[in-house]
Amino acid sequence: MKISFSGTPKSGKTSLLEEVKKILSLKYYVELVEEINLKNPFDDDKKSEFRSQFFYMTTQVNEENIKSIAAPDILLCDRSVLDQWIYWQIHIKNQKSTPSLEEKSKLLKSIYQYWIKTYDLAFLIRLDTREYEKRNSGDEFRKVTTGYVKETEETFGRVIGEDNLKVHEIWNNNSLDESAQQIIQVISEKLTLEQS
C-alpha cells in the first residue's frame, strides 16, 4: 500500500507522517519517501520554474520507485506528485500563456495524471489560519505568508475537485497523537477492506 501526505508548508505533514510511521511499524514493514524539496540543485529563488518542477516531479516518482524495491507492506510518501502539480499551477497562474509554457504544462500534467493513480490512499493535511500563524511566528528561516498558504489551500481544493481525487482531509489542529490516530483509523479500514 502506497500512501501520500500532501499539504501546505507548516501544516505538520512531516511530523505527523513520522508519528504514523512509528505506529504502523509496530505491525508492518514500513518504508518512507522523505520530502525531496531540499534536494533541488537549482537556485533557491527559481524553485518554481519548469526545470525545478520537472526535477521535483520526476524525483518524486523515482524515489517512490526506489523505496518500492524493498517491497514494504506500506510506503509512506512525504508529499506526492499532487503537491508538485499544485506548485506548478500556482507558478503559472498569472503568467501569459505561450506555446512553450503550454508544452511544459502538458508534460507535467501527463506525469501527474499517470502517477496520481498509483497511490492507494491520499491524505491532505490541513491547518486553520490561527494555528498556522502560531506555528509560523517563530521560524524566520521557513516563513511563508498566510496569503500564500490560502492560495495553496484553494489550489489543492480546486485540483482535487476538478480531477475527482479521493483525498482524506485531516485537520491537524489538535495534538499530534489525535491527528495520527485519525490517519491510522483510515489506513486500518483500507487494509481490512483489501484483506477481505
- Determine the residue type at 16: L
Give the end-to-end CA distance of the chain in Å, rounded to a whole number.
15
Q: Give 136-176 pLDDT, tens digit per residue.
A: 655 544 567 888 888 999 999 999 999 999 999 999 887 88
- Determine the residue type at 131: E
| Cβ contact 5:60 at 8 Å | no
E-strand ranges in the chain read 2-7, 30-33, 74-78, 121-126, 168-171
C-alpha torsion sign, points 126, 168, 182, 87: negative
pTM: 0.90
For the chain, the domains span 2-195
CATH architecture classification, 2-195: 3-Layer(aba) Sandwich (3.40)
